[in-house]
Structure 1
Amino acid sequence: MKLFYSAASPFVRKARIVSIEKGIDDQIELFTSEREKRLDELGPDNPILKVPTLIDDDGEAWFDSPVICEYLDSLVPEPKLFPKNGMTRWQALRMQAIGDGGMDDAVKLAYEAARKPGSRSPYWLGRWRQAVDGALNILNSEVVSLSERLSIGPIAVGCFLGFLDQSRVIGDWRAYREDLALWYEDFAARPSMQNTVLKRK
């Protein structure tokens, strides 16, 4: 399999963590894909030109990260990162949605903050910051559910928090969120997290 990636993408990191936790990371070749080259590299397979994009052994393209992660989870029975049914599944997917949503807004916030001062939008900076803070607050209040079992939910949340550490886009997110900070300290020590630390651009 081939995984097209950017070293700074938290969504790519999520897919890589799943492959490590499933024990199949050695079956995936990594190909870096920068924005200016994606039309040529990904255009024939992925019309939205985003990473991660996974090409399986049959040449089928899978995207975006939730689809890639569930596909990888289906290849090996255990550990099951996407529960099959019941409230356990919905809780895992809900946590994934919070983690992914937080990542999406944090990435947008980082791009906007990197623009020249006169080109930045105060409205969008405020809007995305509010969304990131909202995601952090709800995660802090529901941190017990993150500790129940390893699933795609905690993985997505871990990637969200890791991106905040890497980008420093909102400063110290741990302030007033001690429970979430303690959970992340333990989760970030997992080998799959340690082996996929994001690189600064």
Structure 2
Amino acid sequence: MRLIASLSSPYVRKVRIVLAEKKLDYELVLDDPWAAGGQTAVHNPLGKIPCLILDENEALFDSRVIVEYLDTLSPVGRLIPPPGRERIVTKHWEATADGIMDAATSIVQETRRRPAEQQSTAWIERQTGKIHAALDYMDSLLGEQPYCVGVNLCLADIAVGAALGYLDFRNPNLDWRAQHANLARLAEKLDDRPSFLSTRPPAN
């Protein structure tokens, strides 16, 4: 398998953490989805990363689709529960964490890819509001549980950890830990795992 990726993408990091936890071999192919003539557009009509190329040269894209497929490849460290309420709860956590990534990457695109005079303060504030609301929601939902769903690591924790890591990477002034002690505790635990340590984004 080949993973077309950028080291700064939180969606890519989520997939790479799953690959590490599942102990699956793959080739990392770095690509800039914004650049003309790159690999991303060849395999994904939406022009987005991550994109997983299977042995048959078939392409899978969208991180949620990719991680669900990866979890079927090995019984090692099952990350998504079987159909039922626990699975829905896990996917609900993932959707919320992905929503934080969506808002945070939208802010990055607005502030880094648009000239200052064209940037919308209202748009940035709206996305920031989404992040704060989602953090409040997840912190309350987590409570004192050791992990997002039950007592073992699952995809929910990986998605949340990737989202929180991206906030540290791109929005360090947000200081989300100050108001979200439960999430801070979870993040500290996750950050010690080899899968998280080995996938940290490079310095700005």
Q: TM-score range by the shorter chain?
A: over 0.9
Aligned to 1:157: 160
Aligned to 1:14: 14
Residue 58 of structure 1, CA deviation = 1.2
Structure-2-length-normalised TM-score:
0.91
| Pair 1:70–1:55, CA change in 2 (3 A) | same
Q: Which moved more, 1:140-149 or 1:96-105?
A: 140-149
Cα deviation per residue 1:151-176 (whole Å; 9 max; x = unaligned)? 11110000000000111255211122
> 1:113, 1:200 → 2: CA distance?
18
The DSSP-based 3-state class of the residue aligned with 2:43 is coil
Cα deviation per residue 1:120-139 (whole Å; 9 max; x = unaligned)? 10111111001000111011
The answer on whether the counterparts of 1:106 and 1:169 sit within 8 Å (CA) in structure 2 is: no
Aligned to 2:118: 119
The DSSP-based 3-state class of the residue aligned with 2:176 is coil
Aligned to 2:5: 5
Q: Which aligned pairs between 1:51-90 and structure 2 lie closer than 5 A?
A: 51-90=49-88
Structure-1-length-normalised TM-score:
0.93
> 2:180, 2:17 → 1: CA distance?
25
Amino acid at match of 1:130: G
Q: Which moved more, 1:175-184 or 1:164-173?
A: 164-173
Amino acid at match of 1:146: C
Between the two proteins, what is the percent identity of the paired residues? Answer: 37
Aligned to 1:128: 127
> 1:39, 1:21 → 2: CA distance?
32
> 1:132, 1:39 → 2: CA distance?
33
Residue 32 of structure 1, CA deviation = 0.7
Aligned to 1:141: 140
Select 1:109's aligned residue among 107, 112, 137: 107
> 2:19, 2:111 → 1: CA distance?
32
The answer on whether the counterparts of 2:41 and 2:48 sit within 8 Å (CA) in structure 1 is: no
Aligned to 1:29: 27
Q: Which runs of 5+ in 1 are unaligned?
A: none
| Pair 1:105–1:170, CA change in 2 (3 A) | farther
> 1:49, 1:113 → 2: CA distance?
21
> 1:185, 1:170 → 2: CA distance?
18
Amino acid at match of 2:53: I
What count of residue pairs does the alignment treat as equivalent? 199
> 2:78, 2:69 → 1: CA distance?
12
The answer on whether the counterparts of 1:39 and 1:49 sit within 8 Å (CA) in structure 2 is: no
Q: CA RMSD in A?
A: 1.6
1:168 corresponds to 2:152: no
